[in-house]
């Protein structure tokens, strides 16, 4: 069964050594969990790195006997089978049981570029089918916030591509779908069970037009905010959820910041350093300062005053006042079709990077590692 996890990484640097390129390839396919010090040499000492570099990539037309690989790599049959299984599940390798004895493995299509194209065709089709499976659950209205600001720094794409399988014991169809997509992380544990907090959060997003802040989620589901935040960040990494400023709460944030700074620093600070003189028309100063001095400033008054001030200037004013605008999470796209288009575009970008590095590996191995 096809089962692969892909992670979006920056393209390799000017270092074009085969170990650097193969290391990037291994990390992009998440074949090795350990990173950092364990891969300081680009993971060149890891068995799967050596297997790809010295055997399947160097001689793509040759099939390799599992027993011979076990002997040459000095690996136990169990360890070798683990790595070969991951490579086969990713779609890069095929194997045959012809004859007697051990399986023989070969790079699909007789070359790295050919193997990648075969894999990518499967990946795209499965991704499209997976997105179609939540059509009946998608009830989110495509609402746009007033003065909406787009997400400025999406997380690198990190998702799983797993062929269709029935739900595991205790899992609902939705939690099984979430697990296969990577929304529940590498080890879902109890989160794959029906009615888990992850399923409830995702169901809320499927049915919510406005962004959901962390405070909203905590108020509705309880639990630790840090845990809720980690779950929502996993959703973002899979390319289905975005985190945007809650501009629908901009006026209330300005009101809170004005009241707080007036109590702490006074009217003179608001006028000079707080941005009143710079961003608010002089004729509107009294409409804010008088109620502030009496402790009677309301959100409605702030809203009326801000009507003729642009959203960017309101954001700047909030920044000068030391206020903070809460962030909210929502599904990307006003419809399922928009969401599919967005994740397909990002997924194709990831595949283009892998394709380019695959071609570079072939070039280096053909010319010789310099």
pLDDT tens, 350-365? 999 999 999 999 999 9
Closest CA to 17 of 40, 42, 34, 39: 42
What was the pLDDT predicted at 66? 86
Length of the chain: 370
Contact by Cβ (8 Å): 232, 224: no
Structure confidence at residue 146 (pLDDT) = 76
Mean pLDDT within 307-329: 90
Residues of the domain holding 361: 3-104+352-367
| Domain contains 7 | yes
Under the banding of pLDDT at 50, 70 and 90, the label for residue 37 is very low
Inside any domain, residue 179: yes
DSSP states along 36-64: GGGGTTTTTTSHHHHHIIIIITTSTT--E
Same domain, yes or no: 229 and 146: yes
Look up the CATH number of the domain holding residue 12: 1.10.10
| pLDDT tens digit sequence for 38-93 | 456 777 888 899 999 999 999 999 998 888 888 888 888 888 999 999 999 999 99
The reply to whether 189 and 219 lie within a common domain is yes
Residues 221 and 172 in one domain: yes
Cα–Cα distance list, 153 to 6, 218, 236, 242, 370 (Å): 19, 24, 11, 10, 37
Residue 328 covered by a domain: no
Decide if 15 is inside a domain: yes
Residue 158 lies in a domain: yes
Whole-number percent of the chain with pLDDT over 70:
96
Q: Is residue 19 part of a domain?
A: yes
Q: Which of 192, 223, 242 is the last residue before a domain boundary?
A: 242
Helix or strand (DSSP H, E) at 351: helix 336-367
Task: For residues 8-28, give the mean pLDDT.
Answer: 89
Which tokens in the block code for residue 109? 């299509």
Q: Are residues 237 and 253 in the same domain?
A: no
Strand, helix or coil for residue 6:
strand
232 falls within a domain:
yes
* CA-based R_g, the chain, Å: 27
- Residue 102: what pLDDT? 75
Q: Is residue 115 part of a domain?
A: no
Same domain (yes/no): 96, 162: no
Distance CA 209, CA 219 (A): 18
- For tokens 């300005």, the residue is 254
- Mean pLDDT (the chain) is 90
> Are both 218 and 272 inside the same structural domain?
no
Cα separation of 39 and 311, whole Å? 46
Co-location of 146 and 236 in the same domain: yes
Write down the pLDDT at residue 217.
93
The angle at the Cα of 33, spanning 28 to 38, to the nearest 5 degrees, equals 100
**How does pLDDT run across 154-172, given as a tens digit for each residue?**
899 999 999 988 888 999 9
Q: Which tokens hold the place of 121?
A: 């065709």
Q: Are residues 234 and 267 in the same domain?
A: no
What is the C-alpha to C-alpha distance for residues 279 and 352, in angstroms, rounded to an integer? 46
Same domain assignment for residues 66 and 83: yes
Residues 237 and 294 in one domain: no
d(CA 336, CA 205): 13
71 shares a domain with 47 = yes
- Tens digit of each residue's pLDDT (9 = 90 or more) over 219-249: 999 889 999 999 999 999 999 999 998 888 8
| Kind plus residue range of the DSSP H or E element containing 364 | helix 336-367
- 230 and 264 housed in the same domain: no
pLDDT at 99 over 70: no
Number of domains in the chain: 3
Is the distance from CB of 101 to CB of 67 less than 8 angstroms? yes
């Amino acid at each position: 069964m096809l089962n692969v996890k892909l992670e979006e990484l920056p393209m390799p640097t000017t270092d074009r050594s085969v170990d650097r390129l193969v290391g990037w390839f291994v990390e992009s396919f998440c074949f090795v969990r350990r990173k950092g010090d364990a891969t300081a040499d680009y993971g060149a000492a890891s068995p799967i790195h050596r297997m790809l570099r010295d055997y399947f990539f160097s001689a793509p037309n040759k099939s390799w006997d599992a027993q011979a690989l076990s002997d040459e790599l000095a690996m136990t049959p169990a360890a070798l089978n683990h790595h070969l299984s991951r490579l086969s599940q990713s779609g890069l390798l095929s194997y045959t049981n012809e004859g007697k004895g051990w399986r023989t493995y070969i790079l699909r299509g007789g070359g790295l570029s050919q193997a990648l194209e075969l894999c990518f065709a499967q990946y795209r089709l499965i991704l499209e089918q997976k997105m179609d499976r939540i059509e009946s659950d998608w009830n989110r209205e495509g609402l746009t916030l007033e003065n909406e600001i787009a997400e400025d720094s999406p997380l690198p794409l990190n998702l799983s591509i797993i062929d269709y399988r029935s739900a595991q014991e205790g899992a609902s169809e939705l939690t099984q779908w979430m697990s296969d997509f990577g929304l529940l992380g590498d080890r879902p544990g109890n989160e794959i069970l029906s009615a888990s907090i992850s399923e409830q959060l995702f169901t809320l997003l499927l049915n919510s037009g406005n962004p959901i802040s962390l405070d909203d989620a905590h108020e509705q589901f309880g639990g630790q905010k840090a845990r809720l935040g980690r779950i929502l960040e996993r959703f973002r990494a899979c390319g289905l959820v975005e985190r945007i400023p809650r501009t629908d709460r901009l006026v209330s944030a300005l009101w809170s910041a004005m009241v707080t700074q007036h109590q702490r620093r006074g009217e003179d600070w608001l006028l000079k350093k707080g941005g009143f003189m710079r961003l608010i028309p002089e004729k509107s100063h009294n409409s804010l300062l008088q109620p502030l001095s009496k402790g009677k400033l309301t959100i409605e008054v702030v809203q009326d005053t801000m009507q003729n001030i642009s959203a960017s200037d309101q954001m700047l004013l909030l920044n000068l006042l030391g206020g903070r605008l809460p962030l909210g999470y929502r599904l990307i796209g006003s419809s399922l079709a928009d969401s599919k288009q967005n994740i397909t575009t990002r997924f194709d970008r990831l595949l283009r990077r892998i394709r380019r590095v695959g071609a570079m590996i072939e070039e280096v191995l053909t010319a010789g590692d310099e």
